[in-house]
Amino acid sequence: MRVHDEAEPILPLIINKLSTLSHIRELVIHRWCGPMYDPSIEEASSQLFMQCNQHLRRCEVDSPISAAALGHTIQLPSLEEFQLVIRRSFQLPDPLPTVVFPSLRKLEVECNGDPAWLKLLSSVENPVLTTIKIRCPGSAVERFMETFQPVMAGCGMHECFRELWMDSPDDVEITSQMIACTFSFKNLTSLTLFSEVHCSVLCKTVDLTDDDIDLLTNAMPCLEDLAVGSSTPCGVPSQITFKSLYTISHRCTRLMGLMIHFNPTLLVTKVGADESWDVALGLSDHKTLPSADLCSVNTLFVGDIPLPTQPNASCILALGLVGVFPRLETIEYENGDWKKVVDLVGICQRMGCFLFGKGYGLH
């Protein structure tokens, strides 16, 4: 059942009609949150949730509900997906129920920056929760990440955790500290940390370096999707070099989708000066890493990443990308200069030019 904002004036009548229903499996309440708080809406929404029983599987709520209604909902034995939008102060039942989210697998929260809801996670005794998606103001992102990690580790959910999506509608920088807060999630298969605001002057990953990517890939070798930064890589030069792509390809062999802001200038400059691939990538001992032959990356998002101005830059980049990502199929770009790289990647793959990389130390 879905209730949208157009139904708000008659929501109390809807509640009365539903009082005889006992098999609601999906409940979605979407409403526009105006400047004035209407207690009748909270009362009506809360009554609706109190009608739900063990049959409820999925729930979305963008409406204030009482602590009692929330306490009832989070104990439902079959609830597997819960999406909550917190626009005002958040009321937790006090005390919390003994059993919280016994069957929950996916949690999505859009919050106003108050991390109080994290107390719910610390009450989960039998963790089956694998996916958490959070959207919060930029000013609260770093505080949330610092709080989230110990809560997850403290209740033992870091072992089974598989997918973390953390984004903000505001202009926020992704820092080394935020990246480090994810290192205990060693079985993570999908990690997304980004700001929805497109970069203008300041890159969202301006302070991240190859060392950060090295630590991240070492901590989470099971990643299948990785997106860090803004909604698309920008045109501001990054400190992350092509070396990080090499590290990712050798450590995260299951990875299929990659969006990361990297700077190809160093690679192009050194290879163009007839230095070896090892030197160009800054590798001290590349033999300590496994082969990238099985790296599964098929989609790379490069956005507005600027290309070096050297005449052979496109060719060097194409050879390098095919060398580290032999299964690459799609390069998503906004900077038109990447079209030539995309064309050359296709040519290299058809001609088997990835063997060139092996001859020059890419593997």
pLDDT digits (tens, 9 = 90+) for 133-176: 999 888 788 888 888 878 777 666 767 889 999 988 888 888 89
For residue 357, the model assigns a pLDDT of: 45
- Give the integer Cα–Cα distance in Å for 327 and 256: 9
Q: What is the pLDDT of residues 108-128, one digit of tens each?
A: 988 877 777 778 877 776 668
- What is the per-residue pLDDT for 246? 92
- Asked which of 171-185, 270-284, 305-319 is least confident by mean pLDDT, the reply is 270-284
**192 is written with which tokens?**
């997304």
DSSP states along 74-89:
TT-TT--EEEEE--S-
Confidence of residue 82 (pLDDT cuts 50, 70, 90): very high
DSSP annotation of 305: P
CA 15 – CA 54 distance, rounded (Å): 18
State the pTM of this model.
0.85
CA–CA dist 338, 306 (Å, integer): 9
Considering the chain, what is the average pLDDT of its residues?
A: 81
Do 161 and 188 contact (CB within 8 A), yes or no?
Answer: yes
Residue 7 to residues 2, 21, 62, 237, 347, Cα–Cα distance (Å)? 10, 19, 13, 49, 57
Encoded tokens for 241: 């070099």
Q: Is the dihedral of CA 264, 265, 267, 272 positive or negative?
A: positive
Indicate the SS3 state at residue 61. Answer: strand
Higher pLDDT: 292 or 141? It is: 141
Tell me which residue of 304, 300, 254, 281 sits closest to 363, measured CA to CA: 281
pLDDT digits (tens, 9 = 90+) for 341-350: 999 999 888 8
Q: Is pLDDT at 356 greater than 50 in this prediction? A: no
- From first CA to last CA, the distance across the chain in angstroms is 55
